Amino acid sequence: MDKKEQILHAALEVFAKQGLDKGKIADIAVKAGIGKGTIYEYFSSKEEIFKAIENMFIADSINQIEKITASNNTPAKKIEMIAQLSLDIHNHMGDSILIIAELWAQNSRGAALGHDNTIFADMYKDYYSLIEGVLKEGVAEGEFREMSIEGATTMLLAMIDGVVWQSVVLKNDEIFEHRKKEAIKAYINGIRK
C-alpha cells in the first residue's frame, strides 16, 4: 500500500469513529503512523480527503462490476455476482460504510441545493448502465423474460441499497447473510424466463 492509500485507509477509520466533522488531520496522521505534514504533501484539506475516499470507493466498486459484466458467465450468474459483490463490499467495510453514507448524504444535499457534487450520481449512472447491459443480454439470449429493463435495473439497485442499510441498522451478520441470499434469489427468480 502506498502512502496515499495508507492515509485514506487511516482517514476512513478515524472518520468512522469520530464522524466527518470531528475527525482531524492530526488524528489521521497518528492512525497512519506518519507526521501531520506528510498528509499535506498528498492532500490540502479534509475536503480533498473526502473526495479521494469517494473516488477510491466508487472506482473500486465500478472496476469490479465491469470485470463481472465482461466475464463469460451467463447473464443470471452475472446479476448474482454483481449483487453479491455489491452487498459484500458494503458489508466488509464495517464501520467505514458509515462514512460512505455520510459522504453520500452530503453529496445528495449538495446536488439538491444545485451544487456541482455529482460523484455519487455518476456512480449510479455507471452502475445502472452496467446492470442494464446484463439484463438486455439476458433477454436477448432468452434467459430472462421480457420486462421493463429500466424497472428491473432500478429494482436491483434499490434492493442492494435496501439490504445494505438493513445490515447497517441491524448489525447482525447472520440476518444479513440470510436476507442477502433470499433477496438475490427472489430477484433472479423474478426475471428468469
Angle, CA 65 vertex, CA 97 and CA 185 arms, to 5°: 80
Contact between residue 49 and residue 11 where contact means Cβ atoms under 8 Å apart:
yes
Of these ranges, 10-14, 49-53, 114-118, 189-193, the one predicted with the greatest mean pLDDT is: 189-193
CATH of domain 47-191: 1.10.357.10
d(C-alpha 148, C-alpha 77), whole Å: 20
Domain range list for the chain: 1-44, 47-191
Average pLDDT over residues 174-192: 93
pLDDT confidence of residue 157? 93
Would you list the DSSP string of 116-157?
S--HHHHHHHHHHHHHHHHHHHHHHTTSB-S--HHHHHHHHH
pLDDT digits (tens, 9 = 90+) for 9-68: 888 888 878 877 888 899 999 999 998 899 999 999 888 888 888 788 788 889 999 999
Pull the grid cell for residue 69.
459484466
Residue bearing cell 477510491: 56
| Distance separating alpha carbons of residues 135 and 6, to the nearest angstrom | 38
Options 1.10.10.60, 3.40.50.12780, 1.10.10.1590, 1.10.150.50; CATH for 1-44 is: 1.10.10.60
Q: Does position 92 have pLDDT exceeding 70, yes or no?
A: no
- Judge whether residue 99 has pLDDT over 80: no
